[in-house]
Chains A and B, each alone.
Chain A
Amino acid sequence: MRVLMLGWEFPPHISGGLGTACLGLTRGLAKVGVDVTFVVPKAFGDEDRGPTRVLGCNEVPVEVDEDDGEGPRGPAAAAARAARRRVLAVDSALLPYLSAEQYAARLAALEREAAEEEERAAAPAPAPAPVEHPDKARRVSVAKRPLSFAGFYGPDLMAEVERYAKVVEQVARAEAFDVVHAHDWMTYPAAARAAAASGKPLVVHVHACEYDRSGEHVNPAIVAIERAGLAAAHRVVAVSHFTAGILRRRYGVPAEKLRVVHNAVTRREQREGWHVEKPAGGPVVLFLGRVTFQKGPVYFLEAAARVVRVLPDVRFVMSGSGDMLPAMVERAAAMGLARHVRFTGFLSGADVERMFALADLYVMPSVSEPFGISPLEAMAQDVPVIVSRQSGVAEVLASALKVDFWDVEDLANKIVAVLRRPALRQVLTAGGRAEVEGMRWEARAAQLATLYAEVAA
């Protein structure tokens, strides 16, 4: 079985659950014997891409599989698994979760960067270091790149999605595969074209939809792309029953086309966490995620206000950035929480793990969360977790407290309970660790392999 998968870059290049999920799934698929050609959008400089390149597409070396303790061990086994995965990077400025405004900002940033590179290149400078990785490759020679990125990439987000689709269609003509599998809306048009050009079945994987991100204030152009992709798909994979329900109700996806494949956890996330010296003071309750409508930061603050009335030494930390961050800072001050709430801004990589290690409780009060991997990362570090019932992860977790996101009284009550009752903490952390260890991408990949066989038959 060969799959042409249209996905997103792996961590640590991007944040967010989408890249993490793509990494876990492709690794898992390699272990269950599925060959994956993995196509990602990536903004390149105009460096020489070499003879293997197909129209804006660059083969990227697959990182040597770290030994994650699953399946056969040893370098040979890892190499065999790596051989099942090819990564093709297609030149594109797309990033997941990008809004039209953010896309414009990204284009401007890329242009600025290119201009700086050009200046540097004009100045006498040592020859660029040998290229080891496309990330570094981007740093070199941009002289042949047209100065206006808007002239190369699409002038706006929708145009870029369309341009990406055209390029991928060309890639698809040069590749051999049995199934096309696409992750989230920006890749749907590309996947639909690849499927049409090859006559192969299309699987669409929904990690989030526009209604999750925007509530009732959806972008109609995005919804239209989602609808077209879902309609063209032979099977639709949802990351939770919660999301499957939205797809049925909001998009009219017929139940027989829908399958639920929950997310899982990679070993990296399962590894023993950081042990940090906690600063003196009260317990730390953590919100970590994009500070956007979807993540429900306002409910976190509302609960905090109630908790500090009875436990005044508790510290609340909001980590992440997003369009609602300024409003949240102001709101916290207005609610008299300035002493109790801290904002760290965006965290990535090791800082995320360090933050989890500092926390006594992780809260995910999402308004609409298709899955939500971050609670699993917290649990892997023995941090108890409260998640909203409006999340996919709530379906698979027993050792997490659950609340309705709007029920701030209940959330506050449960925050206090975790902080005040050691027995509850003990049960949540011990049970949570066991549960997280039981969630394997390999098992999820096996579900996908069955589904591929179904549609390819």
Chain B
Amino acid sequence: MTAPRAAGPATAAPTAVVPYFQVHQPFRLRRYTYFDIGVDARWFDDAENERIVRRVAERCYVPTNALLLRLVEETEGRFRCAFSVSGTAIEQMERWAPEALEGFVALARTGCVEVLGETSHHSLAFLADDLEFRAQVADQAARVERVFGRRPTAFRNTELVIDEHVARTVEDLGFVALLGEGSDGLLGWRSPARVYGVEGCERLRLLLRHYRLSDDIAFRFSNRAWDQWPLTAEKFARSLAALPADDVAVNLFMDYETFGEHQWKETGIFDFLAAMPRAVLADPRFAFRTPTEVATAHAPAARLAIPHPISWADAERDLGAWLGNPMQRAANLALYALLPAVRASGRADLLAAWRRLSTSDHLYYMFTKRTSDGDVHEHFSPYASPHDAFIAFMNVLDDLERRAGAAAADATAAGTPPAGAVLPPAPARAPDPLTRPLPPPPATPAPGAAQPSKRSRRRVPRGG
């Protein structure tokens, strides 16, 4: 592997192109009824989860991993990218699609692919429970290190949600870069293709998604009504070349399932991806970089204030997709209200189940807005309706509450030590590498050095 070469006449640093792919699978629930409460502790639909992860592995993960590996090799490391792979996705691949996970590991080993940090369960814990958020982040960091061989240094929150609180917490945990949505509301006249700081943070760099160019690939690629259809690698390279000269980092963030799942193979998406890196690299102005590389190479162009959470979902780029209606808010409230009891039960299995319920997809399935966005949600929901999603989720919570209460009562009766004592060590309490100062990442990765890989993010939960 070679370091990126400066092609053409030596100029200022090249403009970075930063592809990042989100990989996530939730643990979907069974159609759990009110009559199952207290009777049946099988909350999750293993058959369905297995079916979906295998399908997505076959259509997307396995072929795309192979293609990206080939691109890294053929460009001698000049093609670089990042992934986030949620803890639940890793767990599902370990159980049901190990060949897909091996592909990600192989990519990470090239040193050209960074794996990002995130919450282990693709949760919205940062909103409700700081301790839980930190625990899930630490859990995921440990998992990424175990699976991919390197602790993450760049962070992306669930569905790319950022605000100042998230930024400060993430900086406190030792990350150097945070990924976010380049929303118009946040940026105003500013370009998404600059590196920013965040109000209240010292070292943390913010990388913002270039939504127009990202969505050209993720959403519009197969849209025949789009005036740019069909999108070719050359056309895409021309769009890049048309960007202002002072843009330093074009962040192409998208669901990994864009390749082969959202955009089917028949649309030509794989041909596009295969040709894109060389088309981009043909212009000496551009070089591929990973988020940590970009964050450490540039001083912030400005410090942004982010008082309200911003996500990459839907037209509003807010949290409406997860907490927009009364069902979603009631479900989220009930979920976090249950957390103390689950902790107090001392039951690792209940905490594990609770964490799977904290996956934001469950809330996303309850989205009710009927718009073109609503169609997107419906497409990815395993439920016939958002109401059905709410009904099953609340029934499971009731059951979990009952079991947590019973376990706590048993523990009290047996005189066992107080709640929490028999919990598995919470990752946050383990000696936490995230709180150690990180060695300054090299501005240019040394040849052959293992590169932190990024995590992929996904736009919407996928379902059957």
Per-position contact with B for A405-418: 1 when CB-CB < 8 Å, else 0? 00001101110110
Q: A421-B390, A424-B387, A427-B387 are in contact. Are A413 and B329 (CB under 8 A)?
A: no
A414 — which chain B residues lie within 8 A by C-beta? Answer: 391
- A412 touching B368, Cβ below 8 Å: no
Closest B residue to A414 by CB, please name it: B391
A116: min CB distance to chain B, Å: 53
A contacts with B: majority SS: helix
How extensive is the interface on chain B, given as a class?
20 to 34
User: Do A401 and B34 have beta carbons less than 8 Å apart?
Assistant: no
Q: Are B391 and A427 in contact (CB under 8 A)?
A: no
- Judge whether B394 is part of the interface by a CB distance below 8 angstroms: yes
Within 8 A of A (CB), among B376-397: 384-388, 390-391, 394-395
Q: Majority SS of interface residues in chain B?
A: helix
- B325 to A424, Cβ gap below 8 A? no
Once the chains bind, are A412 and B394 in contact (CB under 8 Å)? no
A417 touches B326 (CB 8 A): no
Residue of A nearest to B330 (CB): A423
A414 to B385, CA, bound (A): 12
Say whether B33 faces chain A, with CB atoms less than 8 Å apart: yes
Q: In the bound complex, do residue B327 and residue A427 qualify as a contact, i.e. CB atoms below 8 Å apart?
A: yes
Contacts of B395 in A (CB 8 A): 413, 417
- B34 and A420 within 8 A (CB): yes
Q: Given A417-B391, A423-B390, A427-B326, are A401 and B35 neighbors across the interface (CB < 8 Å)?
A: no
User: Chain A: which residue is nearest B33 at the CB level?
Assistant: A413
List chain B residues, Cβ under 8 A from A427: 325-327, 368, 386-387, 390
A410: chain B residues within 8 A (beta carbon) = 31, 33
Look across to chain A and name the residue whose beta carbon is closest to the beta carbon of B390.
A424
Residues of B near A398 (CB, < 8 A) are 368, 370, 385
Give the chain B neighbours of A420 by CB distance below 8 A: 34
For A397, give the chain B residue with the smallest CB separation: B385
Residues of chain B with a CB closer than 8 A to A423's CB: 326-327, 329-331, 390
Does the CB pair B330–A421 fall under 8 Å? yes
B326:A428 contact, CB within 8 angstroms: no
**1/0 per residue B294-331: CB within 8 Å of A?**
00000000000000000000000000000001110111
Cβ A421 vs Cβ B394 within 8 A = yes
Q: Which residues of A from 420 to 444 have beta carbons under 8 Å from B?
A: 420-424, 426-428, 431
A403 to chain B, nearest CB (A): 10
Q: Are B391 and A421 interface neighbours, CB within 8 A?
A: yes
**B390:A402 contact, CB within 8 angstroms:** no
Contact check, A417 vs B35: say whether CB atoms are below 8 A apart: no
Q: Which residues of A contact B388 (CB under 8 A)?
A: 401
**In contact, A417 and B327 (Cβ under 8 angstroms):** no
Q: A306 on the interface (CB 8 Å rule)?
A: yes
Are A306 and B35 neighbours in the complex by a CB distance under 8 Å? yes
Query: In the complex, how many angstroms separate the beta carbon of A134 from the nearest chain B beta carbon?
Result: 44
Q: Is A310 an interface residue (CB 8 A)?
A: yes
* B34: A residues at CB distance < 8 A: 310, 412-413, 416-417, 420
Indicate if the CB atoms of B329 and A428 lie closer than 8 Å. Answer: no
Task: Indicate if the CB atoms of A424 and B391 lie closer than 8 Å.
Answer: yes
Q: Judge whether B387 and A409 touch: CB under 8 Å.
A: no
In the complex the two chains form, what is the Cα distance from A413 to B35 in whole Å? Answer: 7
**Contact digits for B22-35, partner A, Cβ 8 Å, 1 yes 0 no:** 00000000010111
Q: A401-B388, A424-B327 are in contact. List 5 more A-B contacts (CB 8 A).
A: A412-B33, A413-B35, A417-B394, A423-B329, A427-B390
Q: Please, could you name 13 A-B residue pairs with CB atoms under 8 Å apart, sorted by A?
A: A398-B370, A412-B33, A413-B33, A413-B35, A413-B395, A417-B391, A421-B327, A423-B330, A423-B331, A423-B390, A424-B387, A427-B325, A431-B368
